[in-house]
Structure 1
Amino acid sequence: MTTPDDPLLGRVLERRYRIDAPIARGGMSSVYVGTDLRLGRRVAVKVMDARYVGDPQFLRRFEFEARAVAGLSHPGLVSVHDQSIDDNIAFLVMELVRGGSLRELLRERGPMPPHAVAAVGIPTLGGLGTAHRAGLVHRDVKPENVLISDTGDVKVADFGLVRAVSEAGVTSASIILGTAAYLSPEQVSSTEIDARSDVYSAGVLFFELLTGRQPFRGATPLALAYQRLTYDVPAPGDVIAGIPPQIDEIVLRATERDPAHRYRDGFAMQHALLDAIDDLGLPPFTVPAPSQASARVTSAIARPVAPADRPRYDDGPSPHGEPDHRDDLNLPDHDGYEGHEYGGHEYGGHEYGGHEYEGDDDYYGDHPDDEPLGPGIVDTPHTGSTVVAAAWVLIVVLMAVLVALGGWGLGQSWAP
């Protein structure tokens, strides 16, 4: 996480987006809670590492990908509101998802039963499919890039960033490490990448959600990446008992080494999952947000805003170089899902029959103008200007009164 001395805290980018508090840091960017001062709403501001700002190729690709993603609309995608560069700070403005990632949920609860994986998979694949039909490829589908809000919304984040970074003249070990476990064979051996590459990564993601581990292991990221050129992803049912063969079949087809044998895009894989859900009678379910991550975002939102006159961000040593907790691919010990029986449809003590997760209903997305933005966060950017205007009106009125009184006095002195 960023330190209290982060020079961005309290700063307003493009005279519109105020940086309020840090949320998370990754190998290529940092994410902050921000406030859109023009529209009076909370946003997430992703600030790219200073290493990339000096690369013209990265900046061109960054702008192009941001524009393309901003044109997409699907509940399974994190919306992109704006993109710009302000004094050597390249940033994206996105909807703020109060919650956390699938990686954090796996750490908290361990592997998921099939009906919970289905609840994650339908919106994830729908978001990917929407992008695929628009000619976009994510290239980095993994648990860190799938977010879950406190209301159970599942959204894919970071579309386009990996391509922009990969085409830049800067490399990052943390990016390679985070991606290696989910790369498709063609991403390792060639540059011919399309929607089926995301399908492969989604299949690996499903495998991990079902089993709690990744299908391949390697001493280095490179060794891990090359495993998939020789070996097939096993069926999840071979690792953990109780997984229906219909779900195994989806994972096996999605992770075929030959792209021609996979689902053609996210929508095709989503349709196969929907058929399996109907065939198996899997119940609806709302996936809970990871509690620790949700608390971290809530804390960031409530944190007082830093003064805006801090030193400006420069091209010096980047404060964003340390590895992120999200880049750690090792799952710690966990208590698991209490009594999660596949047949009984229980997931961490939450019953599926009610179709609801008993959690916090509040969701920090777009807010009406009259809703408080939280402690230390100004509700509207126009408060100061309103006070100044009222003071000027009062001064003008007083001057008018004094002029009138003076005129009356002069009239009296010249009267006969």
Structure 2
Amino acid sequence: MRPPADTLLGSTLEGRYRIDAPIARGGMSAVYLGVDLRLGRSVAIKVMDARYSGDPQFLRRFEFEARAVAGLKHPGLVAVYDQGIDDGIAFLVMELVEGGSLRELLRERGPMPPHAVTAVADPVLGGLGTAHAAGLVHRDVKPENVLISEVGEVKVADFGLVRAVAEAGVTSASVILGTAAYLSPEQVEAGDADARSDVYSMGVMLFELLTGRTPFRGDTPLALAYQRLSYDVPAPGDVVDGVPEEFDEIVLRATEREPGDRYADGFDMRRALLAAADDLELPPFTVPAPRRSAERETMARLRGAHPGAVPPPAPVPDHTRVQSRPGMTPGTGAPVAPVPAGAPSQVARPATAATDRRRDDRHVSTVEPDEGGAVRALLWILAVLVLAAAIGAVGWWVGQTYLS
């Protein structure tokens, strides 16, 4: 039996935003690849579920949150361009991040070494800190809401949607909003959330990046959510070998059950993370986009069906060009790809380029020797030897002629 056809495909919202292809679908919304016909650029269009579109409370909060997020400027945030309601369809127009999600990258590669974790968390915490300074809270920080572009940009998406849904009249008071594995204790217990709630979720996400799994288990989302009311998040180093103590301390403080014992906001946690990275002399790293993602597949299908209608993907950065952190020896910061699933997180020390290539030669460009120069030098040497032999032979012949 075929699934029902998506009636939105090919339609145009407010006479401006054409919906071309689906990218992802969740419980509250669906995301589509679209085109802003007025500006001629590709965009991501998030369309809210029909059950929310008819709720006045939701629509008021949805518009307010969209306006607030659109005013934020930070490279770690997905830009919001527009929002609207067209014939009962509530939608959000956002920057299209060509690449994939952090969740898709984790599925491909498993846990990450500390320097790769830092490269992911730095822009995310910067984006969260910018929002926190403006009085906004994400409420659903998780790998699915972190996007990675083809050129290694890391951005947070979906600000404000959880709060808008929470205030909708169609939402039951007994429903825990957010993703169970990443919720803070206060979100589970009372539904309250502030900047420190996002910090807790970031601590859980760092734990997962370092270990390859989330800290709690439960048979149902509700049981999973309630685990954090009675148990602390363990140190990542207690789960896998090789995690520096500095990273254990960051995760443990971020996931304190009492909000007052955590970092105050995203900026506060970011300062601690960067201080640890400097102390450990971690090399900089460009986060690779996942090789396979829903967004990539959608773009590839559309390019195949309509050549020239969708611009080609952005060039992948050269991972061999690495800037050293202050205090590091230049040239020792070559990037290392995240380790395979199931392998322990690596000790956070600068590694050689040769070691990096052994770990993963798919994302590290090696520099080939100048073979042409070597050949030319060899030819010159041979020419000199032949000339010397010829001169010697002539000299010998002349000597023999006169002596005889």
Give the shorter-chain TM-score range: 0.7 to 0.9
> RMSD of aligned C-alpha atoms?
2.8
State the secondary structure of the residue aligned to 1:292: coil
- Report the Cα offset of residue 298 of structure 1: 2.5
* Structure 1 residue 178 displacement after superposition: 6.2
Specify whether residues 183 and 337 from structure 1 end up closer, same or farther in structure 2 by C-alpha distance, changes over 3 A only: closer
Paired with 1:94 and 1:300, the residues of 2 have a C-alpha distance of 21
Q: Is the 8 A contact 1:52 1:165 kept in 2?
A: yes
Aligned twin of 2:187: 187
Q: Which has the larger radius of gyration?
A: 2
Higher relative contact order (CA 8 A, sep 6+): 1
1:291 is paired with a residue whose SS is: coil
Alpha-carbon contact 1:99-1:297 (below 8 Å) kept: no
Cα deviation for residue 166 of structure 1 reads 1.6
Counterpart residue number, 2:264? 264
Deviations along 1:154-193, one digit per CA (max 9) or x if unpaired, are: 0000000011112113349xx9596111110111112432
Alpha-carbon distance in structure 2 between the residues aligned to 1:147 and 1:249:
26
State the distance in 2 between where 1:208 and 1:41 align: 35
Change (3 A) 1:303 1:31: farther
Q: Are 2:120 and 1:104 aligned?
A: no
Shift of the 276–297 alpha-carbon distance from structure 1 to 2, 3 Å rule, reads: farther
Give the match for residue 319 of structure 1.
none
Q: Secondary structure at the match of 2:96?
A: coil
1:13 maps to 2:18 = no
SS at match of 1:205: helix
Q: Which residue of 2 aligns with 1:412?
A: none
For 2:341, the aligned partner's letter is: G
Residues 191/23 of structure 1: CA separation in 2 closer, same or farther (3 Å cut): closer
Give 1:121's aligned amino acid: A
Alpha-carbon spacing, 1:13–1:352, altered in 2? closer, same or farther (3 Å): farther
Change (3 A) 1:85 1:245: same
CA-CA distance at 1:279 after TM superposition? 0.1
Consecutive aligned runs of 4 or more in structure 1 exceeding 6 Å deviation: 337-340
Partner of 1:245: 245
CA contact 2:111–2:340 (8 Å) conserved in 1: no
Q: Shift of residue 344 of structure 1? A: 6.2
Distance 2:110 2:7 in 1: 37
Q: Is the 8 A contact 1:111 1:212 kept in 2?
A: yes
Deviation at 1:352, TM superposition (A): 12
Q: Secondary structure at the match of 2:34?
A: strand
1:225 aligns with 2:225: yes
Distance 1:205 1:341 in 2: 18
* Pairing 1:336–2:337 present: no
Query: Percent identity among equivalent residues?
Result: 71
User: 1:299 matched to which residue of 2?
Assistant: 300
Q: Is the 8 A contact 1:287 1:357 kept in 2?
A: no
* Structure 1 CA distance for aligned equivalents of residues 130 and 196 of structure 2: 14
User: Does the C-alpha gap of structure 1 residues 95 and 346 become closer, same or farther in structure 2, counting only changes over 3 Å?
Assistant: farther
Q: 1:48–1:90: 8 Å Cα contact kept in structure 2?
A: yes
Q: In structure 2, what residue type is equivalent to 1:299? A: A
Confirm or deny: 8 A CA contact 2:212 2:341 kept in the other structure: no
Tell me the distance in 2 between the aligned counterparts of 1:117 and 1:236. Answer: 13
CA shift in 2, pair 1:304/1:124, >3 Å: same
- Cα distance in structure 1, aligned partners of 2:343 and 2:14: 48
Find the residue that maps to 2:292 and give its secondary structure.
helix
Instruction: Quote the Cα distance in structure 2 between the aligned partners of 1:65 and 1:103.
Output: 25
Letter in 2 for 1:252: L
Q: 1:40/1:62 Cα in 2 relative to 1: closer, same or farther (>3 Å)?
A: same
Say whether 1:125 aligns with 2:125.
yes
SS in 1 for 2:210: helix
Distance 1:190 1:127 in 2: 26
- Deviation of 1:7 (Å): 1.1
Q: Aligned-pair distance for 1:243? A: 0.3
| Structure 1 unmatched runs, 5+ | 306-333, 360-416
1:76 aligns with 2:76: yes
Instruction: Decide whether aligned partners of structure 1 residues 10 and 89 sit closer, same or farther in structure 2, where only a CA change above 3 A counts.
Output: same
List gaps (5 residues or longer) in structure 2. Answer: 307-338, 366-404
Counterpart mapping for 1:12-411 below 5 A:
12-171=12-171, 179-293=179-293, 295-302=296-303, 304=305, 336=341, 341-342=346-347, 343=349, 345=351, 357=363
- CA displacement 1:82-110 (0-9 Å, x = unmatched): 00000011100000001111111111111
| Partner amino acid, structure 1, of 2:159 | F
SS in 2 for 1:264: coil
Separation in 1 of the partners of 2:207 and 2:36?
Answer: 39
Deviation at 1:341? 4.3
8 Å CA contact 1:286–1:357 kept in 2: the answer is: no
- Distance change (3 Å), C-alpha of 1:263 and 1:341: closer
SS at match of 1:298: helix
Amino acid at match of 2:235: A
Question: 1:335 Cα deviation (Å)?
Answer: 5.2
Q: Residue 24 of structure 2 aligns to a residue in which SS? A: strand
